Chain A
Amino acid sequence: MHIDRSHRAWVLWTAALFMLALCGYLLYAFRFQNGPSGGSVPGLIFGGAGYILMLYAAFLSVRKKFSRWRIGRATTWMRGHLWLGLLSYPLIFFHAGLSFGHGLTFALMLILSVVIVTGVAGAALQHYMPRMITERVGRETIYYQIDRVQQDLAHEADSLLVSLFRKDTQYGLLVPAAEKTHANATTLVVLSEYSGDQLRKAYEDNIKPYLSHRGAYRHTLHDARRAKSFFADLRTLVPEPVRPVIDGLESICDEKRDLDRQSRFHRILHFWLLVHVPLAFLLLVLGGIHAVMALRYG
């Protein structure tokens, strides 16, 4: 989510609530004889408020799951998730008296910290990366379609090479005749055997393996500069009318590179969720256990 001026109200309200909680905490910390404690009434209020905010933040995933529910726009839920989720961190800290505690409490504080840190990292990634993807990935497609599109690209490259068919012992390409005497006239432009073999070898050894493997980040053709030089060399092997075939292959490799880049960006943009979401649910479960244990046996 892009954090812009439209978040101002959320930021101000969150800051105000934080200041209120901080004042409350300072009053309570200085006035209570034994110092702040999670089991005290103010401590329980802080803990309860923090847990409710965590529950609210977790409910975003349920909201996403049932998109037909008309229970508020997802954007509002997301903003609430971001800012109220963040506010839950100081509240829980105030509940814990600014200490990490021991045993389950320590584990809970540690998990909460990781959840908050991954959440903030995720928010930062979501703030910057969409623009980066837009700028750097020219030919973007739907993430789940990348494999399919790459297969299509590989087939397209194959068919381009097939268009350079072998006639007797020579490679050649049927191209539109230079002189338009007949509308559909074509001319066979012949490649030397050496050029044909070199072209096929370059395709089999470099282009085809690059196109058939998703990622292939270490491949020569993944580097745009080296790829450009590679195709420039190939062009010198063939006569002018056949060069569009090389241009086509280069364009296919460029698109494949874009898709690989998109794939990598997409993973970076979403990988943090693999840590954030399970830990958040673990936190809720353990937090519930902690509450029951503390209230029942504390």
Chain B
Amino acid sequence: MSHTGTEQTEVRLVIDGQSITVPIGTTIFDAARTHGIPIPVLCHQQDITPVGVCRMCVVDTHERAYAAACIRKVEPNARKAKPEDPDLVVETNSENVRAARKTLLELMMADHPTPCVRQQQKKDCELEGLAAEYGATTSPYPHRELTRGRDTTSPIILVDHAACILCDRCVRACAELRDNFVIARQGKGYNAGIAFDLGKPMGSSSCVSCGECMYSCPTGALTNTVSVKHEFKTGTPCETADLMALDVFQHVSGNFLDFNKGAVVKRHFKKGEFFFREGEGSSTAFYILEGLVDMYISTQQAHVHTEEQRGTFSSRMRSKLVNRHQHRRQGEDMGRTHVVVDGGLELPCDQPEGQRGPGALFGEMSCMNAHPHSTTARAATDCVVLEMRRNIVDMLRRNKTFRENLDELYLTHTLELHLRKSPVFSSLTREFIQALRSKVRLVRIAPGEIIFKQGDLADAFYLVRRGFVKVTESCAGGDLVLAYLPAGSHFGEPALLGDGKHMATCSALDNVDHVDLVRIAGEDFKEMIRLFPQVHAELQKVHDEHMRENQKRMANISDVPLAEFLHQGLVEAQSLLVLNLDNCTRCDQCVKACADAHDGVTRLVRDGLRVDNFLIATSCRHCRDPLCMVCPVGAIHRQVTLDVTIDDTCIGCGECAQNCPYGNINLHEFEVTLHGEELAALGAGQAHAKKATVRKATSCNLCNELKEPSCVYACPHDAAHRVTGEEFRDMLKK
């Protein structure tokens, strides 16, 4: 039991004779799971709020009634006889508990159409699996005579109400994971079931067919009728059963893998072949089955020295080979020794090379965040890998067990390196880091979540393990982004060294992926700087420098109209279509050119936000932080050129259009001719080619097949320009 001052932070419980210490408030289910003790459950999955409705996870806590492990939190026990006694004693697998579960299973199986669609197709119906384990496949209770029916109105998802056990996993997945709020419970008693919108058939409800409910369903109540077509240029598509046999896919729903058939392919790489090169963008990640992969940074990394330009005749005539006297780029020398890259590797800056072996996932940072690859990956030996789309990686990483394995690996192998790569912490001893290992907490921050606010009291020091942390400071004109801290950075120390209050707000970058942090409690941090004065001195130096820079920055920004610039997200833009209204004769040549370039459908509207004498046309800005990329089928990618494009796997759900804060994505209907395979997927047989209307999201692709965007190229009045947010700010200053 650990205390901070007088406050108790952890509790001790004994589960099936095994003593476990966990933070206060941990559920019995999580405590057991983290220590490898299995507790069966149907209504709970790791990434949604537990509700404890199925009661399958009942455990004996030696209290008045059995408790549902997924919702029963462990609290300090004030009534225990001796301080060394555990706060809670739990039995998860006693005879009585098993009997209770068997009864529950028999009751559920009485209503369940055995085998359900899922059991028939993929043999992974969780209910039937548990029933078989507990010997409850045949129920002594009478079966329901009237079936609750099927809803076949959705072209993608089959709803079999008869197989629904009312666990509400789909309801919570729809609301909590996707923010769609389409599914809810309706009816009472025997007529209770799930409903879409206000009891509409699924096909005519506001469901966007993202499939999340289907992946969450533990039975055959929600199953897929078609698969999303994923096409890889190379590789052998993996069968669902083969994937489910792999350890890494143990906790992934068979429904999900089946729906995304083709989203994982097995590929063979010969020694020396490249997986990807540095700077390229891609929407796939790799999982190594066999072989070794070299990962390295090929870009030369060196500090750039530039001579001060004096502009005199003699200085211009001076040979470029002479030594530089004045050093104008001193601030660019960050003194870093390591850089964090894909696959959780930390590469030394002087020789940025590393290797990954079987069981490693790499390329996931680019895949999840749509950033260009930071390394080149090349097969060191002949390799067999699984290449997978972003939605698969996302599903893998949602799983707590998978993440905890990664966390354990991190604490064991990487934390020390992580600390040492910063010169500030180079004097820490190995013993201290080992002691710190048991004290740090690995925390996961949801996209956009605030870690702490400006003015909050500081209680911890943080290291960025993965993702980006946005540092913003409130000033007169609005919030100013000071920095995006990448993996390997640290923050929170200025307040611990200063007056105890944070000087800026830190949040997870509002992107599509989580941020992983290492949290070192304030007391441990203070202990560290007390024991290692050199660390204290280095941190103090950095802190003082930050304070000086901050004062200068604040003096510089006072005359910039920041509020509008920041609130409208202009600073995020990589390519704003800006029209200088002093030049623009409103001839609409830009719109006509855009329509000509894109099959007659314009992707820009010459209307939008006005800033000074400029119009920001309604056209994709190719944001640095593209919120639109939250696509259920991963159809939006960042190209190698960093442009955001929507490919043909778009299902027209409109999620991207809804997520784009600037209204720059539109949905259009296109006439297409469907051939054999597509028709078969829609259940129309292989017969003939057929014309159909396809709904697809469209956004500006900067005419990437041409040298320059048509809108700019076709403007006769030099009014249209594509600029970045910073360039636009400079234009405004002029």
Chain A interface (Cβ within 8 Å of chain B)? 1-2, 6, 60, 64, 66-68, 70, 73-75, 77-78, 126, 129-131, 133-134, 141-144, 266, 269-270
A242 to chain B, nearest CB (A): 32
Mark the stretch among B125-133, B249-257, B456-464, B708-716 that contacts chain A: B708-716
Mark the stretch among B224-232, B330-338, B577-585 that contacts chain A: B577-585
A230 to chain B, nearest CB (A): 28
CB-based contact A142/B605 at 8 Å: yes
CB-based contact A75/B717 at 8 Å: yes
Looking at the complex, which one of B583, B586, B592, B593 makes contact with A1 (CB distance below 8 Å)?
B583
In the complex with contacts A130-B582, A130-B585, A134-B582, A70-B706 CB distance below 8 A:
yes
CA distance A119 to B685 in the complex (A): 63
Q: Which residues of B contact A266 (CB under 8 A)?
A: 586
CB-based contact A74/B715 at 8 Å: yes
Interface centre among A66, A74, A141 (most CB of B within 10 A): A74
Q: Does B707 contact A (CB under 8 A)?
A: yes
28 A-B pairs (CB sep. < 8 Å)? A1-B583, A1-B716, A1-B718, A2-B582, A67-B592, A67-B593, A68-B596, A68-B710, A73-B713, A74-B589, A75-B715, A75-B716, A78-B717, A129-B585, A130-B584, A131-B581, A133-B581, A134-B581, A134-B582, A142-B588, A142-B606, A142-B607, A143-B586, A143-B588, A266-B586, A269-B585, A269-B586, A270-B585
CB-based contact A130/B710 at 8 Å: no
Looking at the complex, which one of A6, A60, A131, A141 makes contact with B607 (CB distance below 8 Å)?
A141
Q: Which residues of B contact A141 (CB under 8 A)?
A: 607
Interface residues of B in 583-607 (CB under 8 A from A): 583-589, 592-593, 596-597, 605-607
CA distance A67 to B594 in the complex (A): 9
Looking at the complex, which one of A66, A67, A126, A142 makes contact with B585 (CB distance below 8 Å)?
A126
Q: Does B204 contact A (CB under 8 A)?
A: no
Nearest A-chain residue to B583, judged by Cβ: A2
Q: Which residues of A contact B714 (CB under 8 A)?
A: 64, 67, 74
Q: Which residues of A contact B717 (CB under 8 A)?
A: 1-2, 75, 78, 126
Looking at the complex, which one of B583, B605, B710 makes contact with A67 (CB distance below 8 Å)?
B710
Q: Does B613 contact A (CB under 8 A)?
A: yes
CA distance A269 to B592 in the complex (A): 19
CB-based contact B716/A68 at 8 Å: no
CB-based contact A64/B716 at 8 Å: yes
B697 to chain A, nearest CB (A): 22
In the complex with contacts A67-B592, A68-B597, A134-B716 CB distance below 8 A:
no
Looking at the complex, which one of B588, B593, B613, B707 makes contact with A134 (CB distance below 8 Å)?
B613
B145 to chain A, nearest CB (A): 45
CB-based contact A77/B593 at 8 Å: no
Known: A2-B717, A70-B713, A130-B584. 4 other contacts (CB 8 A): A70-B707, A74-B716, A75-B717, A130-B582
Interface centre among B708, B717, B718 (most CB of A within 10 A): B718
CA distance A191 to B587 in the complex (A): 48
CB-based contact B596/A77 at 8 Å: no
Q: Which residues of A contact B718 (CB under 8 A)?
A: 1-2, 6, 75, 78
Number of CB contacts from chain A to chain B under 8 A: 78
Looking at the complex, which one of B613, B710, B715 makes contact with A131 (CB distance below 8 Å)?
B613
CA distance A64 to B713 in the complex (A): 11
CA distance A134 to B597 in the complex (A): 29
CA distance A97 to B607 in the complex (A): 51
Nearest A-chain residue to B590, judged by Cβ: A67
Q: Which residues of B contact A131 (CB under 8 A)?
A: 581-582, 613
CA distance A68 to B600 in the complex (A): 12
Q: Which residues of A contact B582 (CB under 8 A)?
A: 2, 130-131, 134
In the complex with contacts A67-B710, A134-B581, A78-B586 CB distance below 8 A:
no
B-side interface residues, number (CB < 8 Å): 29
CB-based contact B716/A67 at 8 Å: no
Interface centre among B596, B715, B716 (most CB of A within 10 A): B716
CA distance A6 to B592 in the complex (A): 26
A85 to chain B, nearest CB (A): 13
Looking at the complex, which one of B581, B593, B715 makes contact with A68 (CB distance below 8 Å)?
B593
Nearest A-chain residue to B591, judged by Cβ: A142
CA distance A66 to B592 in the complex (A): 10
Interface majority SS (helix, strand, loop, mixed), chain A: helix
A198 to chain B, nearest CB (A): 38
B531 to chain A, nearest CB (A): 57
CB-based contact B583/A130 at 8 Å: yes
Q: Which residues of B contact A144 (CB under 8 A)?
A: 588
CA distance A173 to B336 in the complex (A): 67
B245 to chain A, nearest CB (A): 52
Q: Which residues of A contact B708 (CB under 8 A)?
A: 73
B382 to chain A, nearest CB (A): 45
A25 to chain B, nearest CB (A): 32
Q: Which residues of A contact B580 (CB under 8 A)?
A: 2
CA distance A141 to B592 in the complex (A): 17
CA distance A142 to B587 in the complex (A): 10
Q: Which residues of A contact B716 (CB under 8 A)?
A: 1, 60, 64, 74-75, 77-78
Q: Which residues of A contact B589 (CB under 8 A)?
A: 64, 67, 74
CA distance A143 to B606 in the complex (A): 10
Interface centre among A66, A75, A133, A143 (most CB of B within 10 A): A75
A62 to chain B, nearest CB (A): 13
Q: Encode B562-576 as 1/0 by CB contact (under 8 A) with A.
A: 000000000000000
Interface residues of B in 691-734 (CB under 8 A from A): 706-708, 710, 713-719
A30 to chain B, nearest CB (A): 41
CA distance A75 to B581 in the complex (A): 15
CA distance A126 to B587 in the complex (A): 11
Nearest A-chain residue to B587, judged by Cβ: A270
Q: Which residues of B contact A68 (CB under 8 A)?
A: 593, 596-597, 706, 710
A63 to chain B, nearest CB (A): 8
CA distance A126 to B717 in the complex (A): 9
B663 to chain A, nearest CB (A): 15
CA distance A1 to B580 in the complex (A): 11
Q: Which residues of A contact B597 (CB under 8 A)?
A: 67-68
CA distance A144 to B593 in the complex (A): 17
Interface centre among B588, B605, B714 (most CB of A within 10 A): B714
A145 to chain B, nearest CB (A): 8
Shortest Cβ-Cβ A-B pairs, 6 listed: A67-B593, A78-B716, A67-B714, A134-B581, A74-B716, A2-B583
Nearest B-chain residue to A125, judged by Cβ: B585
CA distance A74 to B583 in the complex (A): 14
CA distance A73 to B582 in the complex (A): 19
A81 to chain B, nearest CB (A): 8
Q: Which residues of A contact B713 (CB under 8 A)?
A: 67, 70, 73-74
A22 to chain B, nearest CB (A): 29
Nearest B-chain residue to A128, judged by Cβ: B582
CA distance A60 to B713 in the complex (A): 14
B616 to chain A, nearest CB (A): 14
Q: Which residues of A contact B586 (CB under 8 A)?
A: 130, 133, 143, 266, 269
B587 to chain A, nearest CB (A): 8
Q: Which residues of A contact B715 (CB under 8 A)?
A: 74-75
CA distance A66 to B595 in the complex (A): 11
A270 to chain B, nearest CB (A): 8
B160 to chain A, nearest CB (A): 40
CA distance A133 to B583 in the complex (A): 11
CA distance A133 to B717 in the complex (A): 16
A273 to chain B, nearest CB (A): 10
CA distance A75 to B593 in the complex (A): 14
Q: Which residues of B contact A6 (CB under 8 A)?
A: 718
Nearest B-chain residue to A134, judged by Cβ: B581
A124 to chain B, nearest CB (A): 12
A131 to chain B, nearest CB (A): 5
CA distance A6 to B593 in the complex (A): 24
A12 to chain B, nearest CB (A): 18
Q: Which residues of B contact A129 (CB under 8 A)?
A: 585
Nearest B-chain residue to A81, judged by Cβ: B716
CA distance A6 to B710 in the complex (A): 22
A129 to chain B, nearest CB (A): 8
